[in-house]
Amino acid sequence: MALTGEGADIYRSLGVRPIITASGSTTARGGSKLRPEVKAAMNATAGVMVDMAELNRRAGEVLARHTGAEAGFVSSGSAGGLILQSAAVVARGDPALLARLPDTTGMRNEIIIHKAHRFPYDQCLRATGARFVEIGDGRRCRPWELEAAFSERTAAVAYLFSPFTTRNALPLEHVVEVAHRHDVPVIVNAASYLPPRANLRRFVAAGADMVIFSGGKSVRGPQGTGILVGRRDLIDAAFAAASPHQTFGRGLKVAKEEIVGLVKALEIFVAEDEAAETARYRRMCEHARDALADFDALTPTVVHDQRDYMIPHLLLHFPERWNGPSRDAVFEALAKGDPPVFLHDIGPPNELAVDPFNLDDEELEIVIRRLREVLSKG
């Protein structure tokens, strides 16, 4: 179990308590547990010197092969990938333009985005100095609104796939068709939209010009990595903006052993039996559901819809008539307990979930025990 052993001891020696992350691949709770093969590859390569441009190119070829894209680049997370997407479409690899960012005066610096796709990380797209041209309202967008948003300053259309985000945007295929008619690239953020593994190819196949996935979430790569793939000229333009170059994106550096770790993680991820993996997560959730069956007022239910709950989760619903501790009190009590347990709380405000992604069987038992203790109070 991850709560004991050498790794846990190192964290404890720093005064840091190991936690149980039942919230999925949440960045603030550690991202994901790396597979032994990934840790071994990172350990083996960390002390070997290589030319970073060559490593970036070869690693990019592996990302491209597994996504059906022309080219790829290991970015510093999805957030770093979004900054590079924006730098690529605004400066197009021109060193003189790159050197001026975030001053985009005179450049193509408008990114069209659905209001329904505004999200906290979209600031990364604006970090280059690009500005948004919003289309639609929170509820819907009509085709003429997209059509009317283009100008001679349009750099790209941004598109988001994310759990718990409104789906009322125009379909990606439609956006691609219109944008390409205007000779404008479509940049997709699918950071946490895996599994299904089929999504690795889905957005490129739909015509997206650049797509970003997080490496440190479901792929179980190093926490700071991202998978940026797309059209060769745009990936080249992204690379021109990134480390090791002494320019705009130098702060988005990815270490050599992280690049190797991501490549290894992706290769294992794509080769993995998704049906068997899903069945294992489902069994864990069903076990937790049965262990909490006497709290039937919370209707413990196993959910898996590949939209909001990308893998099976155990969902607890806190109804009005529930007279035990509130949903927020339960979350707090587990987070402040020993060991700290973090539940999945990004769904509707009256729900909590157990995400099995970062749990082994022993950790799941602790989650169940802590939930039973806290739910029984009151």
Ligand X SMILES: *Cc1c(COP(=O)(O)O)cnc(C)c1O
Cβ distance 227 to 266 under 8 Å?
yes
Give whichever of 163 and 325 is closer to ligand X, judged by the CB atom: 163
Helix axes 256-271, 36-45, angle to 10 degrees: 150
Residues in contact with ligand X by CB under 6 A are 27, 77-79, 119, 121, 162, 189, 191-192, 214, 216, 226
Cβ 203 to ligand X, closest distance in Å? 13
Cβ distance 132 to 122 under 8 Å?
yes
Give whichever of 214 and 358 is closer to ligand X, judged by the CB atom: 214
C-alpha 106, offset from chain centre = 33
Cβ 124 to ligand X, closest distance in Å? 7
Give whichever of 266 and 366 is closer to ligand X, judged by the CB atom: 266
Cβ 127 to ligand X, closest distance in Å? 13
Cβ 219 to ligand X, closest distance in Å? 10
Give whichever of 216 and 312 is closer to ligand X, judged by the CB atom: 216
* Complete edge-to-edge strand list for the sheet that includes strand 351-354: 301-303, 313-317, 351-354
Give one DSSP letter per residue of 68-114, joined into a string.
T-SEEEEESHHHHHHHHHHHHHHHTT-HHHHHHTT--TTS--EEEEE
Q: Which residue is nearest to ligand X (CB)?
A: 77
Cβ 220 to ligand X, closest distance in Å? 13
Cβ 358 to ligand X, closest distance in Å? 15
Residue that has been written with the tokens 């745009």 in this structure: 234
Cβ 83 to ligand X, closest distance in Å? 10
Whole-angstrom distance, CA of residue 148 vs CA of residue 182: 11
Residue from 359, 284, 259 nearest 25 by CA:
359
Give whichever of 27 and 166 is closer to ligand X, judged by the CB atom: 27
Give whichever of 239 and 318 is closer to ligand X, judged by the CB atom: 239
* Complete edge-to-edge strand list for the sheet that includes strand 186-189: 71-75, 226-230, 210-214, 186-189, 154-160, 110-114, 131-135
Give whichever of 154 and 225 is closer to ligand X, judged by the CB atom: 225
DSSP-based three-state secondary structure for 267 = helix
Give whichever of 210 and 371 is closer to ligand X, judged by the CB atom: 210
Whole-angstrom distance, CA of residue 281 vs CA of residue 141: 36
Cβ 308 to ligand X, closest distance in Å? 12
**H-type helices in 14-51, by residue range?**
36-45
Residue from 268, 237, 285, 262 nearest 128 by CA:
237
